[in-house]
Amino acid sequence: MNIEVWQGDITELAVDVIVNAANETLLGGGGVDGAIHRAAGPGLLRECEQLPELRPGVRCPTGEVRATGGHDLPARHVFHTVGPVWRDGRHDEAALLANCYWQSLRLAEQMGLESIAFPAISCGVYGYPLHQAAVIAATETMTWQKSHARPSRIVLVAYNAAAFKIYQQALANAGPAP
Ligand code: ADP
């Protein structure tokens, strides 16, 4: 099992791909999306603008993922995924969030990538409770690694010390019983 928790700014990671918690427009936003666009430079926005719109303003529906290059980032690629907006937990939020992880892992495998880093998708402006999102992140990544060789290195990025602890706990709880 090679899933690690790392605390810091995801834009600093020299992995094959970092995942962006984007919105459906893919035209940038605040939080980690803003940080990624700032660090990647204007080429990232230009590439996102070229991605086809499925309907007006929607380049990536919630739960799906789109790939771009990493531009000025140390990461080679960026996967843009759109997490669910938390309402009350009864609007498919858990399944949609799980899809973000699973579809990103599947795309990484298809592209032959070895290392991937995830931020806490939906846990900022979108309001998903971090404890519950961390359980989904741990469960999806561990389940993936049991039956897939790639990506061989998965990093769950915690932006602060509290998130770091929550992720570690979620991974420990999702692991096999001793
Ligand atoms: P969402 O709209 O999906 O909720 P946000 O960007 O608002 O996305 O927040 C997602 C998570 O990313 C939050 O837990 C936030 O603390 C974290 N975050 C914000 N900036 C960074 C960064 N530079 N690196 C890693 N994580 C970040």
Substitution candidate for ligand 1 out of 123, 131, 157 with most atoms within 8 A of CB:
123
Residues in Cβ contact with 17 at an 8 Å cutoff, skipping those fewer than 6 apart: 67, 70, 75, 76, 77, 78, 79, 104, 108, 111, 113, 115, 116, 117, 151
Report pLDDT digits (tens) over 99-110.
999 999 999 999
* Residue whose entry in the numeric block shows the structure tokens 């969030």: 97
* Residue whose entry in the numeric block shows the structure tokens 């998903």: 128
Domain count, the chain: 1
CATH code: domain of residue 30: 3.40.220.10
Helix (H) or strand (E) holding 31: helix 31-40
- Residue 165 sits in which domain range? 2-174
Do residues 116 and 108 lie in contact, with contact meaning Cβ atoms separated by under 8 Å? yes
Confidence of residue 71 (pLDDT cuts 50, 70, 90): very high
Residues involved in catalysis: 33
Q: What is the pTM of this model?
A: 0.98
Residue whose CA lies nearest to ligand 1 atom number 13: 124
ipTM: 0.98
Residue whose CA lies nearest to ligand 1 atom number 1: 122
